[in-house]
Chains A and B, each alone.
Chain A
Amino acid sequence: MFSTGNSMAVGNDILDIGTQKYEQRQQQVSAGSGSMCPSAIQFGEPGAFDVPNVADPAAFCRANFASASGNKDANQAIKFAKGTTTLAFKFNGGIIVSVDSRSTMGAYIASGTVKKVIEINPFLLGTMAGGAADCSFWERNLGTQCRMYELRNKKRISVAAASKLLANTTNAYRGYGLSMGTMITGWDETGPQLYYVDNDGTRLKGNMFAVGSGSTYAYGILDTFYRKDLTIEEAIDLGKRAIYHATHRDAYSGGINNLYHVTKEGWTKIHAIDVNEMHYEFAEEKKNAMQST
C-alpha cells in the first residue's frame, strides 16, 4: 500500500490498521513545524519540546522567554523566577557547597526559602543559579540519567560523566534562552570533583567557583581567605562568610544560607542559617575585635 501524503479520500483509511498514519506521523517531527500534535498531550516521554511556530524559534525564545539574570528580562511579558549566589570549593577535607535562598521575578522577591542545592543522589550535589525552573528541571532529569547509568553499568556514575550529561543537554538547547549556571560536585573513585556547567554548554573543572549575581562579592572573600589546608570548621566558616557578604551587597541574594559538606561517605547538610542572624553575629564579632585591640 503506497501512502500518497495526505490521502484524505473517503474509505482510504478504513482498512488501515494504523501503519500509514504512523508513518506519516514519523515524518513530521521537525520542531516548530506546528503540524504535529502538541507534545503536551503525549503522555510518554516528551520526544521534543514544543517551540513557537515562527521562522527562527531560538531568536524568538531568546527575546521573549529568556530567564536571564539581573534585569535583562525587564521588558518581557512573562518574568521567570531566578536564583543567585552559589559557591563551592575543594579543600583537603572535601568540598564545601554554600548557597543563598532568594528567588526573584523582576524586582519582586518571589521566595526567600528556595532550595538551591539539588540532591541528585547521596553522592552528587548540583547547585542552582539562573532560571529556577531550568535548573530544577534539568538537574532532576540529570538525576534520572545518573540512576539509569547505575542500573545499566552496576556502578555509580563519575562526577565528570554526570556533568558531561548536563553539559550535553544545555548545548542542545543553546541559544534558546535557558539560563543555568550550575556546579556539579561529588566524590567518586577519583576523589572529590567539582565542575561548573553553564547554559552555553560550558563545562569547566576547577577547585573553586562562585556563580550568580552575587558571585563577585563571594569571590572577594573566598580568594582572600582560601587555603588548601583549611580545617573543616574553618572551611565551613569561610563558606558561610562568603555567602553572607554576597547577600549583604547584592539585592538579588538573601534569605537563608544552606551549607553542605561533601566527603568520601557522601554529602551532609551542615546548617541552614538566616543571613540576617549572621549579620548581627558578625557585627558582635567585629565589635569585640575592635575592643580588644
Chain B
Amino acid sequence: MASYLSAANAVQARNGQLALPIHTSEGGAMIPVSLGANNDCHADDIDHGVTRATYERGFSPYEFNGGTTLAISGPDYAVVAADTRLSSGYEILSRNVTKLHALTDKCVLGSAGCKTDVDQLRSVLDIKMKIYAHNHRKPMSTPSVAQMLGNTLYYKRFFPYYAFNVLAGVDSEGKGAVYSYDAIGSFERTPFSASGSGQSFLIPLMDNVIAHKNRLDEKRDLPSEEVVEIVKDAFVTAGERDIYTGDAVEIMVITKDGLTTETFKLKAD
C-alpha cells in the first residue's frame, strides 16, 4: 500500500466488518481494520497493530552458555578443570565442548560465559602471544600473560567480553600460579579460583578444603593427585545443584615439565 489513503480506499466491508484484502505467498487473507472512527486508532496502525502485539523484542549481543571452571595452585603445580557442557537457555547444545585452552605449555586459560566472546578472546590472545614470541624469542611467562589478559579485557571496557576467566600455570620459578578475573580485566593472583554458573557451589568448598578456613586440623601441602580427586568431587557436587554443569569435566595438571589432561565423566542429566 503506497499510502494511508489508498489503503483506506482498498478496505472493503465483509460480513459487516471492515477488512483489508492482502495477498501473501500463501494465498489471500482478509485483515480486520478500524479506520479511526473509534478511539483505538494509533500511530502505528499502518502495520495493522503488529507492533503492539506482545512478542519478544530487542536484541541482546550476549548469551550465557553456561559452564563452570576451577583452578587450584600448589607449590609446584597448578590444576585447572572445566566441565564440557554447552547450553543455551534450557537446552544442551553439546556435551563435549572444551572450555580450557592452553596458551603456552605452562599456562592454560579456562573461560565460562558466552562462547562466541570466549572464542574471540582466545583468538586475540593467541595472536598477541605469537607476536610476543616473535619479538622476544621466548614464550610469554604466566604473570605476563595474566597482565596481558587483564589489559585485553579492559580494552573492551565499553563493550565487554562476556567471559569469566581463570588463568592457571606455573611461573618462571616453577611455582603454581592461578589468577582470577572479572569481565573487564580486574585480576589478582590467588591460591584458587572458580568462575561460571557453578562458582558459588565450588568456592565455599575450596575455602574449606584448600584454604583451610574454619578448620581446626593442621593445614598440610596437598600433592597434585589429591587435588585432582578433590576437583572431581567438587564437580560432582556442582553438577548435582547446577543445571548448566555436567556431562564431563576436563582436568589439566600443569607443572614445569608440561601439561597432562584427564577427562572424568559426570552425570548427563
Contact = CB atoms under 8 A, between A and B. Distances in A.
A136 B186 contact: yes
A106 to B, nearest CB: 11
Contacts of A39: 155
Interface residues of B, number: 28
B128 interface: yes
Interface in A72-87: 77-78, 80-81
A133 B158 contact: no
A182 to B, nearest CB: 14
Given A41-B127, A43-B128, A111-B188, A137 B183 contact: no
Contacts of B159: 50-52, 65
Interface in A119-146: 131-134, 136-137
Nearest to A53: B159
A50 B61 CA distance: 15
A177 B60 CA distance: 19
B157 interface: yes
Nearest to B113: A78
Contacts of B200: 108
Interface residues of A, number: 34
B7 interface: no
Contact of B186 (A40, A113, A132): A132
A114 interface: yes
B152, B185, B200: most-surrounded residue (chain A CB, <10 A): B185
Contact of B155 (A49, A103, A113): A49
Nearest to A108: B200
Given A67-B184, A110-B182, A113-B190, A40 B156 contact: yes
B223 interface: no
Nearest to B185: A133
B188 A43 contact: no
B158 A50 contact: yes
A221 interface: no
B59 to A, nearest CB: 11
Given A43-B131, A133-B154, A78 B186 contact: no
Contacts of A49: 155-158
B124 interface: yes
Interface string B195-236: 000001000000000000000000000000000000000000
Interface of B: 60, 62, 120, 124, 127-128, 131, 150-160, 162, 180, 182-186, 188, 190, 200
Interface of A: 39-41, 43, 46, 49-52, 57, 61, 65, 67, 77-78, 80-81, 103, 105, 108, 110-111, 113-115, 131-134, 136-137, 176-178
Given A50-B156, A78-B183, A113-B190, 18 more contacts: A40-B152, A40-B155, A41-B124, A43-B127, A46-B155, A65-B157, A65-B159, A65-B160, A77-B60, A80-B182, A80-B184, A110-B182, A111-B188, A113-B188, A114-B188, A133-B184, A133-B186, A134-B184
19 contacts: A40-B124, A41-B127, A43-B128, A50-B156, A65-B157, A77-B60, A77-B62, A78-B62, A80-B182, A80-B186, A81-B186, A110-B180, A113-B190, A131-B184, A132-B182, A133-B154, A133-B184, A134-B184, A176-B158
